[in-house]
Amino acid sequence: MSRRFRNANKSPCRKGRWKCGEVVLKRRWPILLAVALGIAAAVVAVNRRSPPEPVYKGKTVTAWARDMNTSDPLVRSNAALALEAIGPYAVPVLVQSLDRRDSILKRLFLSLAPKLPVWFRRSFIRAFRPFDAVNDRLAAVNALGALGTNAPVRALTRALHDPERQIAVQAATALGNIGKLAVPELIRALNDKDGYVRSMACYAISKIGPDAPGAAPVLIQRLTDSFVGIPAQAVDALGRIGRPAVVALSGALKSPDEQVIGRHERASKRRRARFD
């Protein structure tokens, strides 16, 4: 068989298959770039709708808040001081970040990302940070915690529902540090249908301690909570409230439920140990 017929069925790109792929990629490149730029334009449009942020020492509130996520204690300390200096003016921006969720364009961008140049992907993420909602929510809750009693109680209470447990824990810690001003919202959270929210409310009240006497009756109800860990947390919180919990505990000891009585007695012992 002649060489001409032996090569008749061979693909014209067999020897340079990578060149064929290169040609296809070059043809698709303008389309991919156009889509990527469209995503960037959409992100910019969303960001422009947001009100301008307060600036302190050349950095926005969001930039200072993101510094709260760093592992460097000096950077965190400087960020906390800056946020404290900005004060209540930082609250609207941080609350908005606390409610942030990833853009619906995230999935589209992630599907295109492997086909885009590395320099473009890195520049895009560095410039716009469009898909970093979890870290921004964590930064916001840490920043709100740095504001102390200036932090918005209701926004932090909503953050107890955050699907990221670390954010919920930080919100509970911030509420505990706020003190008695947070107690009414925490009492409502003790009755939330979500067990994890109830758990975080118990934790926050235990940090407040004697300044949360109004929470004692609801904490006693939590002694029979079926969510893992809550009964023990309620005992701890009641013990930390101290003397104001005595009347509520005494009345609860009349319960016919032996399990409830045992938990009440443990709370009473803890209370006595604190004041003996």
DSSP letters for 167-203: HHHHHHHHHHHH-GGGHHHHHHHHT-SSHHHHHHHHH
pLDDT value of position 25: 42
**pTM passes above 0.75:** no
Mean pLDDT of 43-63: 77
Q: Is the dihedral of CA 146, 147, 151, 155 positive or negative?
A: negative
CA distance 249 to 247: 5
pLDDT digits (tens, 9 = 90+) for 163-211: 999 999 999 999 999 999 999 999 999 999 999 999 999 999 999 999 9
Question: Which band of pLDDT confidence, cut at 50, 70 and 90, is reported for residue 60?
Answer: very high
Most confident of 109-113, 131-135, 202-206: 202-206
pLDDT value of position 100: 87
Indicate the range of 5-9, 100-104, 225-229 predicted with least confidence: 5-9
Beta bridge partners of 60: 55
Mean pLDDT of 146-166: 96
Are 275 and 245 in contact by the 8 Å Cβ rule? The answer is no
